[in-house]
């Protein structure tokens, strides 16, 4: 086993998601018997939303690069974005980043395959749902409620910014998941928005739910203890 990595997280997009990353990554490393070396920098969620909606990838990539400069200065070995919606400019950020970036999207396809999942329903930002998670799912078919992407995306955005989920928003997301399973034939619903834990945690919606955050955290925890290395 190689030496563990100092993990750098770009947080703040939104705050609730960052807290969950911190909690789950700490728990995952503890469960592995390791010690976590972690630094978090804070990004601006409103700035991210503006650039995401405008599809201004270069501007957001430059913002990320400045934040990653700070993570490198703090001694981090790699960096990760604590927002699946925030991955919309991942490819543009890679050449600007002074540190290796650990994607939250790339591990999902392999994970679904190991779970023998053939079709997943996506909940998250407008872009995540519209692009079927950036077109990166090769082994698994992705579906979304195409006629409701604007409504679901707006409610997700409002929940992420507020850092809390209303009863009406929770009902909307739980029902959307059920219809992707019942009407579109999804084997599982993927929480492809990092703040969706606010709606789903502690709930049994009656269908299989996969939190993409957990797949990302498992990879980061393995890197943190040296169980995996950066490719």
pLDDT (tens digit per residue) in 204-231: 999 999 999 999 999 999 999 999 999 7
Overall average pLDDT of the 124-133 stretch? 95
Q: Are 58 and 91 contacting, i.e. CB atoms less than 8 angstroms apart?
A: no
Beta bridge partners of 210: 190
Residue 119: what pLDDT? 97
Is the backbone peptide bond immediately before 14 cis, with ω within 30 degrees of 0? Answer: yes
Average pLDDT, the chain: 96
CA pair distance 170, 199, nearest whole angstrom: 5
Q: pTM of the prediction?
A: 0.92
pLDDT digits (tens, 9 = 90+) for 10-57: 999 989 999 999 999 999 999 999 999 999 999 999 999 999 999 999
Does 114 have pLDDT greater than 60?
yes
Report the 3 state secondary structure along 183-222: CCCCCEEEECCHHHHHHHCCCCCCCCEEEHHHHHHHHHHH
**What is the model's pLDDT at position 1?**
54
- Per cent of the chain over pLDDT 70 is 99
pLDDT of residue 25: 98
């Amino acid at each position: 086993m190689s030496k563990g990595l100092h993990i750098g997280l770009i947080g703040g997009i939104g705050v609730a998601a960052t807290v969950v990353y911190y909690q789950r990554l700490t728990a995952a490393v503890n469960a592995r018997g390791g010690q976590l070396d972690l630094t978090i920098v804070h990004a601006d969620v409103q700035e991210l939303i503006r650039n995401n909606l405008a599809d201004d990838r270069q501007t957001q990539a430059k913002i990320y690069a400045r934040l990653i400069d700070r993570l490198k200065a703090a001694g981090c070995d790699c960096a990760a974005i604590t927002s699946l919606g925030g991955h919309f400019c991942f490819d543009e950020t890679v050449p600007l980043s002074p540190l290796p970036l650990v994607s939250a999207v790339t591990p999902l396809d392999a994970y679904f395959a190991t779970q023998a999942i053939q079709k997943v329903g996506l909940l998250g930002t407008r872009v995540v749902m519209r692009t079927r998670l950036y077109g990166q799912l090769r082994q698994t078919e992705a579906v979304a409620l195409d006629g409701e992407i604007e409504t679901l995306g707006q409610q997700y955005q409002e929940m992420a910014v507020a850092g809390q989920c209303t009863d009406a928003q929770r009902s909307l997301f739980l029902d959307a998941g059920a219809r992707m399973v019942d009407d579109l034939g999804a084997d599982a619903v993927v929480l492809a928005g990092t703040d969706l834990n606010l709606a789903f945690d502690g709930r049994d919606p009656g269908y299989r739910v996969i939190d993409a955050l957990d797949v990302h955290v498992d990879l980061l925890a393995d890197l943190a203890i040296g169980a995996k290395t950066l490719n």
